[in-house]
């Protein structure tokens, strides 16, 4: 699929108001499905045979290979290297009909960036990181007066002259009070064998920039975005302070919508931002933004194949293979777990596979989901018509981190990162997922409806179901704070949990093999 031919894609913007309204509507539905699934669990029988997943050591080897390059950004040579590894592994494990579906994109590459702020007294260099897909400057950069606009709401911009200036704004991230929300509306299930989730539990959603939401790929600029308000007001550039981020990190990869933007922009960490905010409000303060780089047309590939079973009915196992940095969690663990399922099921004779398995690893999750959108649009009336359910795996076994109050760096807790399983509103899928989670003692995962956030499911599954509307999903995803940053490295993964987690997925798929078709 050509990027320039891409019709508007799935929108994932979050709204607190819409979320709360949606939650109140979901509460009685969750209660009804939860009660039905509990009854199904009492009557459920185990599958006829046990399937063993690979152990942690084997999965770790795949994960290390996937993370052997500095990043897997869509269309780059590094990404192609891992695409080749995936295709080679698919073929070695005897998948049939292995395909490399091409996706054409614009590769945006930053080569140099910096931020300095000058006052009448001194010039201060500020640590920073580029905002993806924004406009480049020349070697000398852009120098202009600074103007601070708070969080950049319409009210903040009112009566301000930002023409030919550099805007400074705070980025807002939502905090989800898990404990309080689930006291209000009990989810399908909370898998928490270590009893670490209580009424005080909360999480900052670091992937959701509330006032700088992604623009739909192929769609129009967002009117509620501080970035586009700055553009429309004639600003020359914008400095964005990651105000609510739980550390001083500045290497945020987002919004990852694939949209090329009109003025240069840089991110500054929360604590460095304190200084920037102070300087920006001084009289005669000027900023200099340098952002050099280039854009070029490149190709990426969705890799997929089929492990045939006794029928053409399929269970789809999916993730995305691109990453902004090392991407151990996002989504090295997802790819490694998809391969773990292939390693498990390819050892089982075809006569003992009740259904076929479709393995899909897409490109461009961090490019507006272009790979998943392209795959779903291409096959929604053919291949995906045979799929009963998509088991999508993302951010598996990611360790939880919090902010060290002294250093402002990340520090490990003793837990896995909180996560969710987005489930189609089907009591049989809920029951089978609960069963697998209970038996494998999966930690800190919350089972919720697919539209819990009043958006499509967050991740690849959301793109699939938005295009193939009848597709059912079981979408597993954790949300550690280092997602989308350079901190997403192999030390953030609990290696010992890889095997048990893969076994949970294998047990779930094994149960899905025997679920009557009419119950999907």
Q: Which residues contact 294 (CB under 8 A, 6 or more apart)?
A: 109, 111, 136
Cα 222 from Cα 237, distance rounded (Å):
17
Residues 302, 364: one domain? yes
Residues 145, 27: one domain? no
Q: Which of 264, 279, 294 is the last residue of a domain?
A: 294
Q: Which of 263, 294, 325 is the last residue of a domain?
A: 294
Q: Which of 241, 271, 294 is the last residue of a domain?
A: 294
Residues 81, 146: one domain? no
Output the six-digit token pair for 6: 């891409």
Residues 336, 399: one domain? yes
Cα 238 from Cα 282, distance rounded (Å):
17
Q: Which residues contact 369 (CB under 8 A, 6 or more apart)?
A: 9, 10, 217, 460, 462, 463
Cα 219 from Cα 232, distance rounded (Å):
17
Output the six-digit token pair for 356: 């076929």
pLDDT, residue 121, reads: 87
Structural domain contains residue 271: yes
Residue 331 per-residue DSSP state: I
Helix/strand number for the chain, H first, E second: 12, 19
Residues 69, 35: one domain? yes
Q: What is the pLDDT of residues 35-57, one digit of tens each?
A: 999 999 999 888 989 999 999 99
Domain extent for 323? 18-106+297-519
What value, to the nearest 5°, has the Cα angle with vertex 403 and ends 397 and 409? 95
Residues 355, 283: one domain? no
Structural domain contains residue 226: yes
Residues 121, 249: one domain? yes
CA nearest to 51, candidates 518, 381, 517, 513: 513
What are the percentages of helix, strand and coil residues in the chain, rounded to 5? 30, 25, 40
Residues 95, 209: one domain? no
**CB-count burial class (<10 Å; 0-12, 13-18, 19+) for 81:** middle
Q: Which residues contact 470 (CB under 8 A, 6 or more apart)?
A: none
Q: What is the 3-state secondary structure (H, E, C) of 48-80?
A: CCCCCCCCHHHHHHHHHHHCCCCCECCCCHHHH
Report, in angstroms and rounded to the nearest whole number, the Rg of the chain calculated over CA atoms: 23
CATH of the domain at 256: 3.50.30.30
Cα 188 from Cα 449, distance rounded (Å):
8
Cα 312 from Cα 96, distance rounded (Å):
13
Structural domain contains residue 277: yes
Cα 87 from Cα 12, distance rounded (Å):
30
Structural domain contains residue 13: no
pLDDT in 10s for each residue of the chain, 520 residues: 555 555 656 666 667 788 888 888 999 999 999 999 999 999 988 898 999 999 999 999 999 999 999 999 999 999 999 999 999 999 999 999 999 999 999 999 999 999 999 998 899 999 999 999 999 999 999 999 999 999 999 999 999 999 999 999 999 999 999 988 888 888 999 999 999 999 999 999 999 999 999 988 778 899 899 999 999 999 999 999 999 999 999 999 989 999 999 999 999 999 999 999 999 999 999 999 999 999 999 999 999 999 999 999 999 999 999 999 999 999 999 999 999 999 999 999 999 999 999 999 999 999 999 999 999 999 999 999 999 999 999 999 999 999 999 999 999 999 999 999 999 999 999 999 999 999 999 999 999 999 998 888 888 898 899 888 789 999 999 999 999 999 999 999 999 999 999 999 999 999 999 999 999 9
Beta bridge partners of 417: none
CATH of the domain at 489: 3.40.630.10
Residues 97, 142: one domain? no
Structural domain contains residue 187: no
Structural domains of the chain, count: 2
């Amino acid at each position: 699929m050509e990027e320039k031919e891409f019709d508007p894609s799935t929108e994932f913007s979050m709204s607190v108001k819409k979320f709360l309204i949606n939650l109140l509507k979901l509460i009685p539905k969750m209660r009804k499905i939860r009660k039905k699934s509990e009854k199904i669990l009492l009557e459920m029988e185990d599958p006829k045979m046990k399937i063993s997943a690979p152990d942690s050591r084997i999965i770790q080897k795949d994960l290390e290979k996937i993370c052997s390059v500095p990043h897997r950004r869509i269309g780059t040579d590094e990404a192609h290297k891992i695409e080749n590894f995936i295709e080679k592994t698919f073929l070695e494990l005897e998948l049939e009909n292995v395909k490399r579906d091409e996706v054409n994109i614009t590769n945006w590459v930053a080569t140099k960036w910096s931020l300095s702020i000058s006052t009448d007294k001194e010039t201060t260099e500020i640590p920073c990181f580029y905002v993806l897909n924004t406009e480049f400057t020349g070697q000398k950069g852009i120098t202009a007066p600074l103007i601070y606009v708070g969080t950049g709401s319409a009210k903040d911009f009112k009566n301000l002259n930002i023409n030919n200036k550099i805007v400074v704004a705070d980025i807002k991230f939502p905090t989800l009070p898990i404990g309080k929300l689930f006291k209000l509306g009990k989810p399908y299930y909370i898998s928490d064998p270590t009893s670490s989730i209580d009424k005080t539990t909360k999480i900052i959603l670091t992937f959701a920039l509330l006032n700088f939401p992604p623009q739909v790929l192929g769609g129009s600029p967002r009117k509620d975005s501080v970035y586009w308000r700055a553009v429309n007001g004639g600003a020359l550039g914008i400095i964005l302070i990651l105000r609510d981020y739980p550390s001083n990190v500045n290497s945020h990869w987002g919004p990852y919508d694939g949209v090329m933007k009109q003025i240069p922009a840089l991110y500054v960490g929360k604590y460095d931002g304190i200084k920037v905010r102070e300087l920006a409000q001084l009289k005669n303060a000027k900023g200099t933004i340098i952002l050099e780089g280039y854009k070029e047309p490149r190709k990426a590939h969705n890799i997929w194949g089929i492990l045939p079973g006794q029928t053409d009915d399929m269970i789809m196992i999916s993730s995305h293979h691109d990453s902004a940095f090392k991407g151990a969690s996002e989504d090295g663990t997802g790819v490694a777990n998809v391969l773990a399922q292939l390693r498990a099921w390819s050892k089982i004779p075809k006569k003992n596979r009740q259904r076929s398995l479709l393995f899909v690893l897409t490109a461009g999750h961090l490019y507006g989901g272009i790979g998943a959108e392209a795959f779903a649009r291409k096959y929604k009336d053919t291949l995906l018509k045979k799929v009963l359910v998509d088991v999508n795996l993302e951010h598996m076994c990611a360790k939880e981190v919090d902010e060290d109050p002294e250093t402002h760096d990340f520090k490990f807790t003793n837990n896995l990162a909180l996560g969710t399983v987005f489930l189609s509103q089907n009591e049989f899928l809920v029951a089978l997922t609960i069963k697998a989670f209970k038996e494998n003692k999966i930690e800190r995962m919350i089972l919720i409806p697919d539209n819990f956030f009043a958006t499509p499911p967050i991740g690849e599954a959301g793109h699939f179901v938005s295009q193939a509307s009848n597709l059912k999903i079981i979408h597993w995803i954790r949300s550690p704070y280092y997602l989308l940053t350079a901190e997403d490295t192999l030390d953030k993964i609990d290696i010992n949990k890889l095997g048990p987690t893969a076994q949970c997925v294998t047990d779930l798929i094994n149960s899905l093999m025997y679920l009557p078709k009419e119950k999907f």
